[in-house]
Amino acid sequence: MFIKVPKGTQDILPEDILKWYHIEDMIKEILNKYGYKEIRTPYFEYTDLFIRGIGESTDIVTKEMFTFPDRKGRSLTLRPEGTAPVVRAYLENRMDRISKVIKLFYLGPMFRCEKPQAGRFRQFNQFGIEVIGTKSSAADAEVILTVLDVYKKLGLKNLEILINSVGCKKCRVDYVQKLKKYLKDKKDFLCSECKERYNKNPLRVLDCKKDSCKKIIEIAPVITENLCQECESHFSEVKSYLNDQKIVFHEDPRLIRGLDYYTKTAFEIISGGLGAQNAIGGGGRYDDLVEELGGKPTPAVGFAAGIERMIIAIDQQKIKWPVEKGLDIFVAKVNEKNKDTAFRLLQKIRNTGLSADMDYSEGSLKSQMRIANKIGARYAVIVGEEELSKNMVIFRNMQTKEQKEIKIDNIIDELSL
């Protein structure tokens, strides 16, 4: 056997590339409408960026990163997510000087060294948006509306929107204390993983799906009831913006996202039929990240969506993809002797702006016509001896099977019809 793709990666073949073009086009169209500018950051960064940005104890940092040393021993990491790199670029390029608020989007591959499964890959593509420089709740709402607009443009239906507030530095600390106090005497009844979570990141206990833990969590103190005044009003503003836009969402007080940088708003969009990996997008506010990465205190909010999962969801919902536009002209030669004439003609046709191709192998006319048919050529130009002696070629409509002889000199005029 020859060498295969690395685990969790895949080739995107020509037969599927149209899906990608389509999705990328729609994303860019919508994001442009909302005023986002694209930014492209490197596919790898210094490892510290992610450790500091995403959080030392997160799953991503502790066990999912592709990390390797460069030739001088500096630790590099293939980016597992897009927000930390964008914030790094924002700081490095002093983008705060461009305008107080900046709206950026990115689109490209991310890398996480997890065990692959349905909808989960080691190299996968995300698009994401970041609004940096405003604490306005309208920005939170806009981010959600923007992404929903992208999904809508692609025809995705039956999406569920989950939303929560995880508080800020101040109120979250208080809440975690309160939660720990509540869980303390019930610790023995938690599952083994949750016992660990209790120490590492008690908020994650809220996310446990085991029945025994669920029972305990059910009556645990809820973060949304323990928010400070500022977070409380911010959250209700976000919700009222969404209500105003007739967006149906579910409040999920147990929604805790796996990246440490989130503050206040956290949200996730899920689509049924994707198996265990049902989140097609998620995001939230991260008011402390810019400062943690060495900048001035700068509030921000963003979102990221998985392109592969969007494709799976689109297929699953049986939404039609755009069809490939066939070749305009296929040039066929009756005899190998006509090859040079055909080649000259081919290039002449291409120079008019039409798409054209021919078969360079020494196949029969029949085999060339089969190729023309297979690639969906609209017309065939057949170069034959008899016609050539009169300075003419055959011009055949592949759909109607009608064909006529035309003068070579007039070919451009004929084609422009």
Among 372, 408, 411, 415, binds RNA (CB under 7 A): 372
Work out how close the CB of 179 gets to RNA at its nearest, in angstroms, rounded to a whole number.
15
End-to-end alpha-carbon separation of the chain, Å?
52
Two structure tokens written together for 414: 């004929």
Residues 275-304 that bind RNA (CB under 7 A): 275-282, 304
Residues 38-77 that bind RNA (CB under 7 A): 58-60
Instruction: Tell me 120's DSSP state.
Output: B
Nearer to RNA, 59 or 237 (CB): 59
Question: Is position 259 an interface residue for RNA (rule: CB under 7 A)?
Answer: yes
Question: Is position 380 an interface residue for RNA (rule: CB under 7 A)?
Answer: yes
Residue 396 in 3-state DSSP?
Answer: strand
Among 37, 337, 374, 390, binds RNA (CB under 7 A): 374
Q: Which stretch binds RNA (CB under 7 A): 173-181, 236-244, 349-357, 367-375?
A: 367-375
Question: Is position 334 an interface residue for RNA (rule: CB under 7 A)?
Answer: yes
- Which residue from 403, 398, 382 is spatially nearest to 332, judged by alpha carbons? 382
Work out how close the CB of 121 gets to RNA at its nearest, in angstroms, rounded to a whole number.
5
CA atoms within 13 A on the CB side of 23: 24
Burial (CB < 10 A; 0-12, 13-18, 19+), residue 7, is exposed
Rounded Cα distance between 387 and 368, Å, is 18
Among 305, 345, 381, 406, binds RNA (CB under 7 A): 305
Rounded Cα distance between 407 and 390, Å, is 8
Nearer to RNA, 7 or 100 (CB): 7
Residues 388-417 that bind RNA (CB under 7 A): 394, 396, 398-399, 401, 403
- Is beta strand 279-285 parallel, antiparallel or unpaired with respect to 263-271? antiparallel
- Which residue from 203, 154, 153 is spatially nearest to 177, judged by alpha carbons? 203
- Classify residue 108 as left (phi > 0), alpha (psi -120 to 50) or beta: left
Question: Is position 118 an interface residue for RNA (rule: CB under 7 A)?
Answer: yes
Binding residues for RNA (CB under 7 A): 1, 4-8, 58-60, 81, 112, 114-121, 124, 126, 193, 204, 207-210, 256-259, 268-269, 275-282, 304-306, 308-309, 334, 363-367, 369-374, 380, 382, 384-387, 394, 396, 398-399, 401, 403
